[in-house]
Amino acid sequence: MVKTNVCLCGVEMKNPIVPASGTFGFGYEFAELYDINVLGSLSFKGTTLEPRFGNPTPRIAECSEGLLNAVGLQNPGVDRVLSEELPKLKACFQGPIMANVSGFSLDEYRETVKKLDAEKQIAWFEVNVSCPNVHGGGMSFGTDPKAAASVTAEVKKVTDKPIIMKLTPNVTDIVSIAKACEEAGADGISLINTLLGMRIDLKKKKPILANKMGGFSGPAIMPVALRMIYQVYDAVKIPIVGMGGVSSAEDVIEMMLAGATAVEVGAANLRDPFAAKKIAEDLPRVMKKYGIEDLGSIIGGAH
């Protein structure tokens, strides 16, 4: 029997597979299709202090080997997430969950984490300082080491649970930002979020997305993600949650060899709602194929 379990920031997971925030709703929607307890965890839809309608439509544009999204953090707000969404998730998933949190000020980040902290099933906070689709927040915190560190320090004040900072790839030096977050108290680093991109409608001769630009995700970005995971693994001592273009169990192994402890599956869920399930169930076969008995033993193995 191969061992698929991993330990992320002191929390045991039956396997490293985590559906990425924004691609899996609040989880219970997918429980109508299959038993989501086959997953190691899930990162639920990005949550802000107040409800957000998100960006105007159209919000999605197709690309070769991926897609663009400019949803803009649409969510019902933290109070409704606690009262309505998480009870539904708890009824169908027994594992640890990852709370993805975003904000437009230090106060918003802090207060959202503070409210969610009481939910026992939440094992980690994935703090998003990397969304390219919103104005006045999101990525603006993640492109500057000092700003990313300030968010880290602020949310650490209100919880003892691990803080995993989700970083943007839209920077020239990902390492300096990861190190700044570690020095400010981050317990882990989550990378990468989407790359900033756009498409133009040839008939209308205008950008397809109402937001003009959006986050590019899908298989095409995986080499960028791998490179950044590899660089950050060499620079920090805290664990990494890897993501970006993952669509197979082989991709998961590759990301773990680069330095990831857990691996998120994002755009693949939008193409195939069973993607995360298939990847989790295929892991033992791929491990045997490459002579891997214990997944935890290969983390950073390519260094």
Return all residues near 205 (Cβ < 8 A) that are at least 6 apart.
none
* 68 located within any domain: no
The enclosing domain of 86 has a CATH number of 3.20.20.70
Per the CB < 8 A criterion, the answer to whether 136 and 103 are in contact is: no
**Mean model confidence pLDDT for the chain:** 95
pLDDT tens digits, 6-63:
999 999 999 999 999 999 999 999 999 999 999 999 999 999 999 999 999 999 999 9
Q: What is the pLDDT of residue 20?
A: 98
Is residue 176 one of the residues assigned to a domain? yes
SS3 labels along the chain? CCECCEEECCEEECCCEEECCCCCCCCCCHHHCCCHHHCCCCECCCECCCCECCCCCCCEEEECCEEEECCCCCECCHHHHHHHHHHHHHCCCCCCEEEEECCCCHHHHHHHHHHHCCCCCEEEEEEECCCCCCCCCCHHHHCCHHHHHHHHHHHHCCCCCCEEEECCCCCCCHHHHHHHHHHCCCCEEEECCCEEECCEECCCCEECCCCCCEEEECHHHHHHHHHHHHHHHHHCCCCEEECCCCCCHHHHHHHHHHCEEEEEECHHHHHCCCHHHHHHHHHHHHHHHCCCCEHHHHCCCCC
Q: Which of 7, 63, 92, 131 is catalytic?
A: 131
Amino acid found at 37: N
Query: Is 99:116 a contact under the CB 8 Å cutoff?
Result: yes
Q: How confident is the model at residue 85 (pLDDT cuts 50, 70, 90)?
A: very high
131 is catalytic: yes
- Mean pLDDT over 64-75 rounds to 93
Asked if pLDDT for residue 132 goes beyond 60, the answer is no
pLDDT at residue 239, as a whole number: 98
Asked whether residue 290 carries a pLDDT value surpassing 70, the answer given is yes
What is residue 138's predicted lDDT score, i.e. its pLDDT?
A: 52
In a domain, 78, yes or no: yes
Residues of the chain with pLDDT > 90: what percent? 93
Query: How many angstroms separate the CA atoms of 93 and 213, rounded?
Result: 35
Local confidence band at 140 (pLDDT 50, 70, 90 cut-offs): low
Q: How confident is the model at residue 141 (pLDDT cuts 50, 70, 90)?
A: confident
pLDDT at 189: 98
- Mean pLDDT is lowest, of 84-88, 120-124, 131-135, for 131-135
The answer to whether residues 8 and 239 touch, using CB atoms and an 8 Å cutoff, is: yes
Q: Using 50, 70 and 90 to split pLDDT, how confident is the model at 130? A: confident
> Could you count the other beta carbons within 10 Å of the beta carbon of residue 48?
23
pLDDT at 262: 98
Q: What is the pLDDT of residues 192-229, one digit of tens each?
A: 999 999 999 999 999 999 999 999 999 999 999 999 99
d(CA 51, CA 22): 15
- The one-letter code for the residue type at 112 is T
Written as one letter, the residue type at 204 is K
Burial of 76 (0-12, 13-18, 19+ CB in 10 A): middle
- Whether 64 is covered by a domain: the verdict is no
Per-residue model confidence (pLDDT) at position 143: 82
Banded pLDDT at 131 (limits 50, 70, 90): low
Domain range enclosing 292:
6-56+73-198+216-298
pLDDT band at 80 (very low <50, low <70, confident <90, very high): very high
- Asked if residue 252 belongs to a domain, the reply is yes
pLDDT at 199: 97
Whether 256 maps to a domain, the answer reads yes
Q: Provide the domain count of the chain.
A: 1
pLDDT at 142: 76
90 domain-assigned: yes
Residue with tokens 């998100």: 54
Classify residue 95 by burial, with Cβ atoms within 10 Å: 0-12, 13-18, 19+: buried
pLDDT for 139: 53
Mean pLDDT on 180-187: 98
* Predicted local distance difference test score (pLDDT) of residue 214: 94
**63, part of any domain:** no
Cis check: omega of the bond before 58, within 30 degrees of 0: yes
